[in-house]
Chain A
Amino acid sequence: MNPILTITKRELGGFFNSPVAYVFLVIFLLMTGAFTFFIGQFFDRAQANLQPFFMWHPWLYLFLVPAVGMRLWSEERRLGTLELLLTMPISPWQSITGKFIASWGFLILALSLTFPIWWTVNDLGSPDNGAIFTGYIGSALMAGGYLAITSMTSALTRNQVISFILSVVICLSLVLCGWPPVTDPLAAYFPNWIVEGVAAFSVMPHFDRLQQGVIDSRDLIYFISLIGFPLFATSVIIRSLRS
């Protein structure tokens, strides 16, 4: 078996052997439901789309994704198994990828369990299923980006709590950096290109376009780099840990 898959299998086993996975799934589904129906006013809007469902994902993931990813590397460091893993005949990249795929797969599983909402909206009206599909793609990519950031912060420390807080802060800044209350004060002190540069890091416009059914290569490149760069940083951090 490919070593990446072996690592993935072990990580997934770790999730489902403990109550963490089930607690997470239940809370994730309860919260997406509650946000969609009570705060998002899904029924009152009387519109056949999943906008009130997807709009909460950047915020929900803000806490739930770091909760899934915080143990990825910090636990290895705490237990000392990092030494075991890195002296096995596999490259650090394979470990990083295997662990990432396991957690991302788990998040995608959680996301796909929200299918009743898709079924509901189709039952009540005739929504644009293409836009719903790209919305799900965007949501999964965003979860992947948050997760890659958590993987990076997790490699930084052997303390899961620190890893959690760091990744929440980084992800929150990715959510907020394009928001007018943040960009307006910046515009007062900095030239426009800096403000636009900061705003360009924001996850929101890219996710919004995918929700509307627009597949733009720029959005895909954004999300791929949002996953790729922190994973690369993870490998750099792990290499520096060993010297």
Chain B
Amino acid sequence: MIKVENLSKTFGPKVAVNDVSFTVERGEILGFLGPNGAGKSTTMRMITGYIPPTAGVVKVGGNDVTEKPIEAKRLMGYLPESAPLYTDMTVEGFLGFCAEVRGIKGADKAKAIDRAIDMCFLKAVRHQSVDTLSKGFRHRTGFAQAIIHDPDILVMDEPTDGLDPNQKHEVRSLIRRMGQSKAIIFSTHILEEVEAACTRAIIIDQGKIVANGTPEELKAKSELANSYVASINGTEASAVRDGLGTVIQSAKVTIVTDKAPTVVARVFPKKAGADGELGQAIFAVAAQNNWKVNEIKKEEGRLDDVFRNITLSDNQVQ
């Protein structure tokens, strides 16, 4: 539904987005990750037709955003960063205006407003003026505006920014629910959000895509992914290290903590995929040496490690 091809944007000498390509299909929720200033907002603004690209093409539902902006915009709902609203209107008036601009009138308009207000939990402030709303309500009004016409495509710039943990949870589950029938792109710098809501994630840094995959695939890129952590009581650290060193499937053993009486060691696999065997081998070594094992657990890999590794290494090169 969204096709981005070789998209670039330069502001004077500064390259904000550099040759970015990806697609989002119906039923996908794409998380857009990256440090501040990585080019997330600029990319989203080009997708929604707010700013024209320097080079490249954005197609929304088959419509080129530069050549057929009206048709493309009709298919999209957009929540800009920090959710701008007309402060001199009531919530209901504002949503009515957004519906009318999108050509929804009469009874359909009333229905669309009710639906958006229900979905975004705005009933309490329905007749309140926007400039008296708290940040959470403002944000949800912006969200309601984006879904007022039940769009096939939803583009949201930091949809959970400024919400409290309960509201964040609500918005995430709303995104997940809507993602079953829509194509959704949202940007965030909260990594747990990607794990909680996305079917796919793209990490963008300095205007370039540096990673693209499911949250699981990204996590697997972590150095720690598929390693085992063993916590053992009453044995010397050196003995643990030597003992685990005999495991043939392991590439490396490190001692994470050594606080008597507990030793925590990490065993890295030699190659990916053989982690089941590695686990069995660790158990076998522990049994042989009669270690008092508190816990042996497999590491899934952490998204924030991957994120930091990818986005920091680039900065340090420069």
Contacts and interface: CB of A to CB of B under 8 A. Distances in A.
Nearest to B102: A89
Given A1-B100, A87-B48, A90-B101, A81 B73 contact: no
A10 B97 contact: yes
B84 A79 contact: yes
Nearest to A14: B88
Contact of B87 (A79, A84, A242): A79
Across chains A and B, which 3 residue pairs bring their CB atoms closest together, nearest first? A80-B84, A89-B73, A89-B74
Interface of B: 45, 48-52, 69-71, 73-74, 76, 78, 80, 82, 84-89, 93, 97-98, 100-103, 105, 145
A93 B24 CA distance: 31
Interface string A1-25: 1010011011001100110000000
Contacts, number: 73
Given A13-B93, A83-B80, A89 B101 contact: yes
Contacts of A79: 84-87
Given A88-B101, A91-B70, A242 B51 contact: yes
Given A1-B105, A87-B50, A80 B73 contact: no
A3 B104 CA distance: 11
A158 to B, nearest CB: 12
Nearest to B88: A14
A83 B101 contact: no
Interface of A: 1, 3, 6-7, 9-10, 13-14, 17-18, 79-81, 83-84, 86-91, 242-243
A84 to B, nearest CB: 5
B45 A88 contact: no
Contacts of A18: 88
A84 B100 CA distance: 14
A17 B102 CA distance: 23
Contacts of B73: 87-89
Contacts of A14: 86, 88-89
A83 B50 contact: yes
Contacts of B145: 84
B89 A13 contact: yes
Contact of A80 (B82, B93, B97, B100): B82
B80 A80 contact: yes
Given A14-B89, A89-B70, A89-B73, 20 more contacts: A3-B103, A6-B101, A9-B97, A10-B86, A13-B89, A14-B88, A80-B82, A81-B85, A83-B50, A84-B80, A86-B49, A86-B50, A87-B50, A87-B73, A88-B73, A88-B101, A89-B71, A90-B101, A242-B52, A243-B52
Contacts of B98: 88
A91 B84 CA distance: 19
7 contacts: A1-B103, A3-B103, A10-B86, A79-B87, A83-B84, A88-B101, A90-B70
Most buried by B among A10, A80, A87, A89: A87
Nearest to B84: A80
Nearest to B90: A17
A198 B102 CA distance: 45
Contacts of B76: 87
Contacts of B88: 13-14, 17-18
A14 B74 CA distance: 25
B73 to A, nearest CB: 4
